[in-house]
């Protein structure tokens, strides 16, 4: 895996294929947040006359997938058949506890991660990176409520960073943290200036309305 | 419409039905951001033994709706048949330009808004509040790139607030701003403390990775 650190030297003109694994009870915002970031980035590249990145939802089959809070989405491709992936993203959600014992998903993840430039997770998606072996020796972030459990399962957990990049593995904390991670990765894939334009397009100038608990 | 300002005095034990209108080319994060906020809020209420809010995607029919960046979702109910709504949310996306001339959607919006406690929009969803007449005399926020156009169409546009509450109308700026607005509304529907718990559950402690353009 040495040498993957050169990822930041990509030219701004390359286009990438980004695949997001989904499964029953995947958490909605974990993948739709990054989806919005990556597809907005693609649209801005297309407007600028550059080749846009392609973003796909990938699942076991093409039928509707019911997410953790009830949203039903349709996958674009299946684990058995999809284009080569430059970036893999694994969301969290209650479904990760079941998928951590699903050899189909875990072996797919190990296979695509071996040739992808980046393998990423949001929230408890880190459990699937860990269970598949693709994060062996890497530090991981996860949802604050799952840090103890992920550590108990043998992972090295970082508790004080919104997202963690360790080699080609990038993992984020819970749910909304995937947006920040996806913006960071957009800057790595293309350019910081392009990531800023993407952030501006989705008007991501967050202003949480109530002060946090003291 | 006088008297709607008393909304902040709801007790914390009531449950609400929240309906999100979707249509072809609705922007993904415009509704999935608030969806995550409202459904996470509902889950936390259920865990606490309280009646959870219900959140529904409502569309012209029950078939898949292709969103602005290609995500395909399945509606839960139709404009013709759904439970009474306490909260209505209208997302933006390129589809709003077409829907602004769709009498079915506009008359539905006028009808449900008349009995709802709150009518809300994200991004260019404000165009549909304006076109349906439900925002007559109200100030509106919208995506920064649409402010001039919305004003040209006769609306009163606020340009310096992430979301605007004017009577029972609440409108937000672009895309990700819907998350902040939905958290604010969660605090109004239930309690500020509950909104803070919801914010913590979705780990919404945003940290955009690159500094904004100077």
Residue B161 has pLDDT above 80, yes or no: yes
pLDDT in tens, B47-89: 999 999 999 999 999 999 999 999 999 999 999 999 999 999 9
Run of H or E including A98: helix A95-99
Cβ-nearest to B184 among A39, A181, A209: A209
Cβ-proximal residues to A191 (8 Å cutoff; 6+ apart), any chain: A12
CA distance B197 to chain A (A): 9
Q: Look at A2-11, B58-67, B103-112, B190-199 and tell me which has the smallest mean pLDDT.
A: A2-11
**Token pair of B83, please?**
């439970």
CB atoms within 10 A of CB B110: 15
Number of C-alpha atoms within 13 angstroms, CB side, residue B110? 11
What is the average pLDDT value for chain A, to the nearest integer?
93
* pLDDT recorded at residue A14: 84
Task: Evaluate if residue A73 carries a pLDDT over 80.
Answer: yes
Q: Identify the pLDDT of residue B212.
A: 65
What was the pLDDT predicted at B54? 97
Domains contained in chain B, number: 1
Identify whether B67 is a catalytic site residue: no
Per-residue pLDDT reduced to its tens digit, B91-111: 999 999 999 999 999 999 999
Q: Which of B33, B55, B202 sits opposite A174 (nearest CB)?
A: B202
Q: What is the pLDDT of residue A213?
A: 56
Task: Name the pLDDT band for B14 (thresholds 50, 70, 90).
Answer: confident
Q: Chain A contacts of B74, Cβ < 8 Å?
A: 64, 72-74
Could you tell me if residue B208 is inside a domain?
A: no
**How far is A133 from chain B, CA to nearest CA, in Å?**
26
Contact A210 B203 (CB under 8 A): no
The answer to whether the Cβ–Cβ distance between A176 and B28 falls below 8 Å is: no
- The verdict on residue A172 lying in a domain is yes
Spatial CA neighbour of A174 closest among B203, B98, B104, B85: B203
Instruction: Answer whether residue B212 is part of any domain.
Output: no
Instruction: Return d(Cα B37, Cα A49) in angstroms, integer.
Output: 36
Cross-sheet strand order for the sheet of A54-59: A77-78, A54-59, A17-21, A87-90, A118-121, A169-172, A163-166
Q: Answer yes or no: do B176 and A202 touch at CB < 8 A.
A: yes
**Distance to chain A for B196, nearest Cα, Å:** 6
How high is the pLDDT of residue A125? 98
The angle that helices B177-189 and B192-201 make with each other, rounded to 10 degrees, is: 140
Quick: pLDDT tens for A104-135.
999 999 999 999 999 999 999 999 999 999 99
Would you say residue B2 has pLDDT above 60?
A: no
How much of chain A exceeds pLDDT 90, in percent? 92
CA atoms within 13 A on the CB side of B69: 29
Number of residues assigned to chain B: 214
Mean pLDDT score, B105-118: 98
| Residue A144 phi, psi dihedral angles, 5° rounding | -55, -30
Q: What is the pLDDT of residue A212?
A: 65
Q: Say if B37 falls within a structural domain.
A: yes
Where residue A184 sits, what CATH number does that domain have? 3.40.50.880
Of A28, A57, A199, the CB nearest to B35: A28
Q: Is the pLDDT of residue A21 over 70?
A: yes
Q: What 3-state class would DSSP assign to A162?
A: coil
First CA to last CA distance, chain A: 42
Helix (H) or strand (E) holding B156, with range, is strand B156-157
Q: Is B117 inside a domain boundary?
A: yes
Per-residue pLDDT of A156-173, as tens digits, reads 999 999 999 999 999 999
Nearest to A32 among B32, B200, B210 (CB): B32
Assigned domain for B8 exists: no
Residue the block writes with tokens 């459904």: B39
Hey, how many other C-beta atoms are within 10 angstroms of the C-beta on B201?
21
Q: What is the ipTM of this complex?
A: 0.93
Cα–Cα distance measured from residue B179 to residue B55, given in angstroms and rounded to the nearest whole number: 15
- Searching chain B, which residue's CA lies closest to the CA of residue A204? B176
pLDDT at A211: 75
Position A11 pLDDT exceeds 60: no
What pLDDT is recorded for position A1? 32
Collect all residues of chain A within an 8 Å Cβ-Cβ radius of residue B207: 162, 180
Cα gap B194→B41, rounded to integer Å: 8
| Angle CA A81–A84–A85, to nearest 5 | 110
Does A28 contact B32 at a Cβ distance shorter than 8 Å? yes
Average pLDDT, stretch B22-43?
A: 98
Q: Which chain A residue has the Cα nearest residue B161?
A: A207
Residue B19 in contact with residue B31, Cβ under 8 Å?
no
The answer to whether the CB of B206 falls within 8 A of the CB of A184 is: no
The CA radius of gyration of chain A, in Å to the nearest whole number, is 16
Is A185 a residue whose pLDDT tops 50?
yes
Kindly state whether residue B209 falls inside one of the protein's structural domains: no
| Average pLDDT of chain B, as a whole number | 93
Q: What percent of chain B has pLDDT over 70?
A: 93
User: Does some domain include residue B150?
Assistant: yes
C-alpha distances (whole Å) from A130 to each of A61, A89, A114 are 24, 13, 14
Q: Given this model, what pLDDT does residue A3 score?
A: 36
Domain containing residue B69 = 16-201
Burial label, B176 (beta-carbon count in 10 A; 0-12, 13-18, 19+): buried
Judged by CB atoms closer than 8 Å, whether chains meet at A205 and B212 is answered as yes
Q: Cα–Cα distance between A106 and A56 in angstroms, integer?
A: 18
- Nearest C-alpha neighbor of A189 from the set A44, A67, A65: A44
């Amino acid at each position: 895996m040495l040498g993957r650190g050169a990822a930041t030297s990509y030219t701004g003109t390359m286009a990438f294929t980004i695949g997001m694994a989904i499964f029953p009870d995947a958490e909605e915002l974990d993948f739709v947040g990054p989806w919005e970031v990556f597809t907005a980035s693609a649209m801005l590249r297309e407007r600028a006359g550059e080749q846009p990145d392609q973003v796909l939802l990938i699942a076991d089959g093409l039928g509707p997938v019911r997410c953790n809070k009830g949203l039903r989405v349709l996958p674009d491709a299946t684990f058995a058949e999809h284009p080569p992936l430059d970036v893999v993203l694994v969301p969290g959600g209650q479904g990760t506890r079941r998928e951590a014992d699903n050899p189909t998903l875990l072996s797919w993840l190990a296979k695509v991660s071996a040739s992808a430039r980046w393998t990423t997770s949001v929230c408890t998606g880190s459990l699937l990176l860990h269970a598949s072996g693709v994060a062996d020796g890497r530090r991981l972030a996860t949802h604050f409520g799952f840090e103890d459990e992920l550590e108990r399962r043998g992972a090295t957990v970082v508790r004080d960073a919104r997202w963690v990049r360790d080699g080609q593995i990038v993992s984020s904390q819970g749910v909304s943290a995937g947006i920040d991670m996806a913006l960071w990765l957009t800057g790595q894939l293309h350019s910081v200036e392009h990531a800023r334009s993407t952030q501006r397009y989705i008007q991501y100038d967050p202003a949480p309305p109530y002060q946090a608990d003291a």
